[in-house]
Amino acid sequence: MCGIAGFYGDLKKEQSVSTLQHMLTRIKHRGPDQSGVYVSNKVGLGSVRLSIIDLSSGVMPISNQDDSLWIVFNGEIYNYVELREDLLQKKYSFKTQSDTEVILHLYAEYGPECLNKLNGQFAIAIWDKHKEELFLARDRVGIRPLFYSQNDNVFLFASEIKSFLEYPEINLKFSNKALSEYVTFWTALSPNTVFEDVFEVPPGTYMLINSEEVKSVIYWELPIVKPADYEFTNLEDATKAFEDIFLDSIKLRLRADVPVAAYLSGGIDSSITTSFIKQVSPKKLRTFSIGFTEKDFDESSYQNIAASYFNTEHSSVTCSEKDISNHFKDVVWFAEAPLLRTAPTPMSLLSKSVKDQNIKVVITGEGADELLGGYNIFKETKIKHFWAKDPNSKYRPLLLKRLYPYLPQISKSSSNMLKMFFGYKLNETQSPIYSHLLRWHNTSRIKNYFSNTIKENIKDYSPIENLENQLESRLKDFDYLTKAQWLEIHLFMSGYLLSSQGDRMGMANSIEGRYPFLDHRVIEFCMKLHPDLKLKGLNEKYLLKKMMVGRLPEEILNRSKQAYRAPIRSLFVSNDLPEYLKTMLSEDYIKEFGVFNPEHVKNLQAKITSNKGVSEIDNMAMTAILSIQILYDLFINKSIPKLNPDQLIALDKIIIE
């Protein structure tokens, strides 16, 4: 796993090496083992490397035989062994044993079509000297990040936005439109980021940049099928087919020249991945988990059951409220985006505990909930479709109590109260975003805390209406679950889960996460399943549970779904709050940055301090306000210290042409 950065345009070579060195130093956490640059009059490519495959000879940038193609690459290509064999038969020769060089030769042979042959997670940059063309590509579901921007006549790219701060005369500012999207969807609509004129290469997309154009092409889309085209309706057949694909996905993700560990959360997803890992490799497995001092969030008892059952060498770290507040600034720095939950912070602490044990790679269970109906929002949608057929029913809304036993304001509500809360646009079942209308409507109330200037700027922009219009024809005639899954996978999974909780928190500690449920073959299989094989009644991940009978502890197999959450409550209004966070929430800084209304923020702080009638939205608003204030300070105010010469990474490889 690595970090990459670079630029394309009319360049001065003598300045390019230094600029790349600065850009790479900002992301050295992504690749502390080796670094290198390639520069010419037209392009600069740089890489910092976390060595996992071919530890000795895989230093980037790497060229092909005649030096006409140069590559820097962040990620892993799991089927590189098989692809290499095919290329050897086509008379390609190799200088390294790395998966990076395999990509380069594939590109020489097939051009952008080579992406369809890759099984992995990646952000790729290839320079074609003959065409004077830069090729950028990102994996199918956006596991690895890749951002770009244009400054005068120079096109910039990097694994993380903070690299752009080291390019001369770059000054970032917030996109008010994207801020509105973040406090609605928890993410921005791709390719937007929170910063104006900074964009992501969308998942499943490649770009070609040359003197004539900047071209963006979608090479993969989430495959969804209409009810008449479900490929699997029989549980036994589906289970056998899934197990074959998933087992191969696990085998591929165990390929590494360093030890591979696993996260073991105590839930069914991580337990399944651990079970399959043990099936492939019975040797002692290192597993890691996070616990909480606050009982409502802690799953340690289930983690211990799983670790004992699989006989793993298990390590656990415990997270307190104080840990969250103490590390929140760093978490925002690495997330590079507004946060509405504190959950990324414990994930950062967990990945640090892995690093402290000298492990570089962990396998995790992300993706199972999205692909196999694991989230409560899927059950909620199913119940609301049922309720909408009899809107005046007294009993149908009561089914919603079963979904949120950990939220007293719901689990103790009367039928009338549930109707008031969940009945928003109940009858609009044909909307392509029906499943998420209530969630996004509630979350968007955070916009009330914006300053009058920003409110005026975004008054004519409705993120929800905009998205609904975009998807009206795209999701027409698909079943309720497929539509809800499409939204979760495209927005929440890629834009939040895999970034703020996945790549960013792992790579902040030089830890690579691997996700067997997100093998594109597993994704494509799951999207062809009949909905009842995913969500049977209100029993989530039905196929997985049936498949694992007798192979997991009963306590884990049959436990109620518990969402991964972390404490918020009075976290950011306590007397123990670090001075930096107090400063960011002070009236002076709220006024100076101009994003929020100082009076409204003050009232929210008072409400949370009193602990009277504090809602989930209040907690999310407080987290959003603080994270956005920190983002402004670090990225726009540039409060981060400048890099001193002795802080710059030493470049192991410098190629100047």
pLDDT at position 402: 78
pLDDT, mean of residues 604-624? 91
Strand ranges across the sheet with 34-39: 198-200, 147-151, 154-158, 2-8, 43-49, 34-39, 653-656
592 and 551 in one domain? no
Task: Find the domain containing 380 and state its range.
Answer: 376-489
Amino acid present at 225: V
Which region among 413-427, 588-602, 633-647 has the lowest average model confidence (pLDDT)? 413-427
Which region among 70-84, 332-346, 405-419, 529-543 has the lowest average model confidence (pLDDT)? 405-419
Neighbouring C-beta atoms of residue 26, cutoff 10 Å: 23
> Among 647, 573, 574, 629, which Cα is nearest to 603's?
573
- For the stretch 136-179, pLDDT in tens is 999 999 999 999 999 888 999 999 999 999 998 899 999 999 99
194 and 130 in one domain? yes
Q: What DSSP element (H or E) covers 6?
A: strand 2-8
275 and 204 in one domain? no
Question: Cα(332)–Cα(344) distance, rounded to whole angstroms?
Answer: 9
Write out the two tokens for 513.
């996460």
**23 pLDDT exceeds 70?**
yes
Which region among 258-272, 458-472, 556-570 has the lowest average model confidence (pLDDT)? 556-570
Contact call for residues 156 and 148 (beta carbons, < 8 A): yes
522 and 483 in one domain? no
Residue 266 included in any domain: yes
Q: What DSSP element (H or E) covers 263?
A: strand 260-263
pLDDT, mean of residues 1-26? 91
Which region among 46-55, 224-233, 236-245 has the lowest average model confidence (pLDDT)? 46-55
HSE of 635, CA atoms in CB hemisphere, 13 A: 29
**14 pLDDT exceeds 80?**
no
Amino acid present at 617: I
**412 pLDDT exceeds 90?**
no
Tokens 């197990």 found at:
243
pLDDT band with cut points at 50, 70 and 90 for residue 581: very high
277 and 238 in one domain? yes
Q: What is the crossing angle of helices 344-356 and 321-335, to 10°?
A: 90
List of long-range contacts for 94-99, beta carbons under 8 Å, 24+ apart: 95/57, 95/62, 96/54, 96/57, 96/58, 96/62, 97/53, 97/54, 97/57, 97/58, 98/53, 98/54, 98/57, 98/58, 98/62, 99/53, 99/54, 99/73
> Among 214, 193, 190, 188, which Cα is nearest to 204's?
190
- For the stretch 355-409, pLDDT in tens is 999 999 999 999 999 999 999 999 999 999 999 999 998 888 888 887 877 666 7
pLDDT at position 426: 93
234 and 199 in one domain? no
For the chain, give the percent of residues with pLDDT over 70.
Answer: 97
Among candidate residues 221, 250, 265, the one where a domain is terminated: 221
- The catalytically annotated residue of 2, 114, 319, 526 is 2
pLDDT, mean of residues 89-111? 95
Parallel/antiparallel/unpaired status of strands 69-77 and 62-63: antiparallel
Mean pLDDT score across all residues of the chain: 93
Write out the two tokens for 402.
């079963």
421 and 279 in one domain? no
528 and 478 in one domain? no
Among candidate residues 189, 221, 253, the one where a domain is terminated: 221
295 and 159 in one domain? no
Write out the two tokens for 11.
């360049």
Burial label, 228 (beta-carbon count in 10 A; 0-12, 13-18, 19+): exposed
pLDDT, mean of residues 64-86? 96
Write out the two tokens for 169.
């005369």
Active-site residue 319, yes or no?
no
pLDDT band with cut points at 50, 70 and 90 for residue 567: low
Question: Cα(443)–Cα(60) distance, rounded to whole angstroms?
Answer: 43
**314 pLDDT exceeds 80?**
yes
**251 pLDDT exceeds 70?**
yes
pLDDT, mean of residues 564-580? 75
Strand locations in 190-245, DSSP E?
A: 198-200, 205-209, 214-218
Write out the two tokens for 419.
């109707």
pLDDT, mean of residues 201-210? 98
Residue 346 included in any domain: no
| Burial state string for 442-453 with b = 16 or more CB within 10 A and e = fewer than 16 | bbbebbebbbee
Q: How many domains does the chain have?
A: 4
Residue 564 included in any domain: no
**DSSP helix/strand/coil, 184:** helix
- For the stretch 465-506, pLDDT in tens is 999 999 999 999 999 999 999 999 999 999 999 999 999 999
Q: Which residue has the higher pLDDT, 498 or 573?
A: 498
pLDDT at position 303: 94
Residue 288's CATH number: 3.40.50.620
Residue 506 included in any domain: no
Residue 507 included in any domain: no
Residue 83's CATH number: 3.60.20.10
Residue 340 included in any domain: no
Q: What is the DSSP letter of 112?
A: G
Residues 6 or more apart whose CB falls under 8 angstroms from that of 196 comprise 172, 173, 174, 175, 178
Residue 599 included in any domain: yes
**565 pLDDT exceeds 80?**
no
Which region among 107-121, 272-286, 369-383, 390-404 has the lowest average model confidence (pLDDT)? 390-404
> Among 27, 209, 219, which Cα is nearest to 127's?
209
Question: Cα(484)–Cα(475) distance, rounded to whole angstroms?
Answer: 10
210 and 310 in one domain? no
pLDDT band with cut points at 50, 70 and 90 for residue 63: very high
Contact call for residues 23 and 167 (beta carbons, < 8 A): yes
What sign results for the dihedral spanned by CA atoms 217, 221, 226, 228?
positive
303 and 317 in one domain? yes
Which region among 344-353, 465-474, 570-579 has the lowest average model confidence (pLDDT)? 570-579
Parallel/antiparallel/unpaired status of strands 361-363 and 512-514: parallel
298 and 242 in one domain? yes
Residue 566 included in any domain: no
Check whether the bond before 516 is cis (ω within 30° of 0).
no
**10 pLDDT exceeds 90?**
no
